[in-house]
Amino acid sequence: MGIKIGILGLGTVGAGTVQLLLDNVGRHPLLKEVEICRVGVKSLDKPRTVELPVGIITTDLEAIVTDPQIDIIVELIGGIDRARELILKAIANGKHVVTANKAVISRFGAEIFTAANQAGVYVMLEAAVGGGIPVIQPLKQSLSVNRINTVMGIVNGTTNYILTRMQTEGSSFDDVLADAQQLGYAEADPTADVEGWDAADKIAILASLAFGGRINRDEVFSEGIRQVSKTDISYADKLGFVIKLLAIAKRCSPVSPSSTPTLSVRVHPTFVPKTHPLASINGVYNAILVEGEPLGQVMFFGPGAGAGATASAVSSDILNLVAHLKSRQNSDTNSHLDPLLACSHQDYCQIAPVSELEARFYARFLTRDQSGVIGKLGTCFGKYGVSLESVVQTGFQGELAEIVVVTHDVQEGKFKQALDEIRTFEAIHSIPSLLRVI
C-alpha cells in the first residue's frame, strides 16, 4: 500500500517537490511508495510548471488536512497564521507534517510539537533551515552524541548575496539591493531578510535542536545589514576581515545535568577574519558551522534556497516518514514515536541579553582633525576597561578625519557606556559604524 501525501502550496518549492517526487528513477526506491493525493493552491487559474492528473489540485486546503486517506501533509504555503492553523489541524487529524516554514516553527514550535507528541505524529522541518543543506537531521541524530558549544552560520542567501557583491564591487547597499530585486535574488519586500529576521528564525530552530531546549523567538537579538556601508567593507578588507551576516548560538553556561543551558542567540553583521571557514562562503550560498565535544568543528555548506535544493530537503523528510510508516505497516505493533525523529523538548533555554555578553567590536569615528583625539579615545576606553587591539587613522571624509578601532573582548554594556561618553567630546563629529567581530 502506498503512502498518501497532501501538499499545501504549489509555488517554487511546492512545484520543485512535486517534480522530484514524480521523477523518482535513480533515487531511493521507497520514493516509489509516495502517492500525491491532493495539492492545495490559492487559485486554480495560475499557470503551473508541473503537470498533475486532473482533480488532484484544489483550493480547499481544509479538505486536504482533514482527508482521512492522507498520511502526510506537506506544508509549503509560507506565511504564519494560516500555515500554523493548517499544521495544527493536520496534527489533530492524525497526520504527520513536513514543513519548510521557519517563521511558524520558530514562533509556534512549542505548541506544534506538544500537539504532535500528544497525537503521536512527527513534524519534520529539514527545509526550514539552510534550504537543501542537511543540517536538521544531523543535529537531531548524527551530532546529538556531542556536547554542542556553538552553532553559527550564514543562513540567509539574500543578505549574503548583497554583502558579497558590495565586497567584490565596492557598491553601496541600496544599489546592490535594487539590482538583487531585479534579478530575483531579493524579494520585492526584502525586510525579513535584510533586517535579519529570517536568519533569527533559523538560528532559533538550530539552537533548540543543538542545545536541547525551547527557544523564545522574541529573545533572539537581530540586527540587519542596512547600515553596513561600503566604507566599512573596505576597512574590513584592509584589516583582514570580511563582513558577513552571522547567526550565532553559543553556550554561555557550563554543561549541567540539572538545567537547560544559558545561551547567547543572535544575528548581526560581523567582522569575520578572512581565515575563518565562514569567510569564504559567498553569494547565495549558506553554511553552518557546528562545534561540539568531542567532534570538534564540522561545517555544512550548500545552496540555502531554490526549488530543487529545497525540494531535496522536503522530500528527504517525506522519505523518512515513508520509511517509518512502511515499517509500521509491516509490523503488528503500533510503535511509539522514534525519539530521533520527534522533538520532545519541554524546558526553555535561558537567553543572555546581548548587553551582558563579551564580544570584540569594530567602531568607526568621524572626528575633527585636532591633536590628541586618538589619545582622548584611548583614555576613555581605558576608563571603562575596554582594551583596544588596533587603532587606525587612514582616511578623511571631507574635512573630517576617520578613525577606526578594533577592541579585544569587552562587555558590550561597558563598550556602549564608553561610546556614550565619547559622543560628548567636542572633537567627535559622529560614530557612523559599530559592528561586532568574531
Catalytic-labelled residue, pool 95, 202, 244, 250: 202
> Any contact of residue 131 with ligand HSE (CB under 6 A)?
yes
> Any contact of residue 148 with ligand HSE (CB under 6 A)?
no
> Any contact of residue 153 with ligand HSE (CB under 6 A)?
no
* CB of 156 or CB of 270, closer to ligand HSE: 156
Kindly give the residue spans of alpha helices, DSSP state H, lying in 141-196. 157-169, 173-183, 191-194
Instruction: Tell me the sheet residues that pair with 296.
Output: 292
List Cβ neighbours of 336 (8 Å cut-off, separation of 6 or more): 120
Which residues in 54-105 belong to E strands, given as ranges?
57-58, 72-75, 96-99
Residue 202 is among the residues annotated as catalytic for this protein: yes
CB of 134 to ligand HSE, least distance (A): 15
* Among 156, 316, 320, 433, contact with ligand HSE (rule: CB under 6 A): 156
Question: Which residue in 212, 249, 226 sits closest to 163, CA to CA?
Answer: 226
* CB of 65 or CB of 162, closer to ligand HSE: 162
CB of 192 to ligand HSE, least distance (A): 7
> Any contact of residue 158 with ligand HSE (CB under 6 A)?
yes
Q: Which of residues 175-194 bind ligand HSE (CB under 6 A)?
A: 193
CB of 244 to ligand HSE, least distance (A): 13
> Any contact of residue 304 with ligand HSE (CB under 6 A)?
yes
Q: Which of residues 277-296 bind ligand HSE (CB under 6 A)?
A: none
Any idea which residue has 575596554 for its cell? Answer: 386
Q: How far apart are CA 221 and CA 196, in angstroms?
A: 9
CB of 204 to ligand HSE, least distance (A): 13
* CB of 6 or CB of 130, closer to ligand HSE: 130
Distances (CA, A) of 287 to 129, 290, 314: 10, 10, 18
Cβ atoms of residues 240 and 437 within 8 Å: no
For ligand HSE (CB under 6 A), the number of binding residues is 8
CB of 106 to ligand HSE, least distance (A): 12
CB of 417 to ligand HSE, least distance (A): 36
Distances (CA, A) of 258 to 254, 255, 294: 11, 9, 21
* Among 157, 261, 292, 303, contact with ligand HSE (rule: CB under 6 A): 157
> Any contact of residue 232 with ligand HSE (CB under 6 A)?
no
DSSP state of 216: -
Q: How far apart are CA 158 and CA 163, in angstroms?
A: 9
Hey, what's the cell of 424? 560628548
How crowded is residue 32: how many other Cβ atoms within 10 Å of its Cβ? Answer: 13
Site string for ligand HSE, 90-129 (x = CB under 6 A): ----------------------------------------
Site string for ligand HSE, 195-214 (x = CB under 6 A): ---x----------------
Q: How far apart are CA 377 and CA 429, in angstroms?
A: 13
Crossing angle between the packed helical segments 197-211 and 102-119, to the nearest 10 degrees? 40
DSSP state of 19: H
List residues with catalytic annotation: 202
**Chain positions contacting ligand HSE, by CB under 6 A:** 131, 156-158, 193, 198, 304-305
